[in-house]
Amino acid sequence: MSDKQQQNKLWGGRFSESTDAFVQAFTASVLFDQRMYRQDIQGSQAHATMLAEVGVLTTEERDAILQGLDEIRQEIEAGEFAWSVALEDVHMNIEARLTDKIGITGKKLHTGRSRNDQVATDIRLWLRDEIDQLDAELLRLMNGLLDLAEREAATIMPGFTHLQTAQPVTFGHHLLAWFEMLKRDRERLLDCRKRVNRMPLGAAALAGTTYPIKRERTCELLGFDAVCENSLDAVSDRDFAIEFCALAALSMTHLSRISEELVLWTSAQFNFIDLPDRFCTGSSIMPQKKNPDVPELVRGKTGRVNGHLISLLTLMKSQPLAYNKDNQEDKEPLFDAVDTLAGSLRAFADMIPALEPNREVMREAARRGFATATDLADYLVRKGIPFRDSHEIVGKAVAYGVSKKKDLGDMSLSELRQFNDQIDDDVFEVLTLEGSVSARNHIGGTAPEQVRAAVARARQALGA
Residues annotated as catalytic (active site), given as ranges: 162, 283
Query: In 54-170, where does DSSP find H-type helix?
Result: 59-77, 90-102, 115-151
- According to DSSP, the β-strands at 226-227 and 198-199 are parallel
Report whether 412 contacts 419 (CB < 8 A): no
Nearest to 455 by CA among 184, 188, 447, 135: 447
**Could you give the CA distance from residue 238 to residue 300 in angstroms, rounded to a whole number?**
27
Q: Would you say 159 and 172 are in contact if contact means Cβ atoms under 8 Å apart?
A: no
Residue 399 CA to residue 415 CA, distance in Å, equals: 12
- Per the document, the length of the chain is 464
Tell me the one-letter amino acid at 197. N
**Which phi and psi angles does 16 have, rounded to 5°?**
-105, -5
DSSP 148-215: HHHHTTT-EEEEEETTEEEEEEEHHHHHHHHHHHHHHHHHHHHHHHHHHSEE-TT-TTTT--SS---H
Which amino acid appears at position 7 of this protein? Q
Separation of alpha carbons 199 and 229, rounded Å: 9
Closest CA to 126 of 250, 40, 21: 40
Taking a C-beta distance cutoff of 8 angstroms, is the pair 75, 81 a contact? yes
DSSP bridge partners of 157 = 169
Q: Does residue 131 contact residue 196 with C-beta atoms inside 8 Å?
A: yes
Using CA atoms, how far residue 115 sits from 44, 92, 239, 245, in Å, is 11, 9, 19, 24
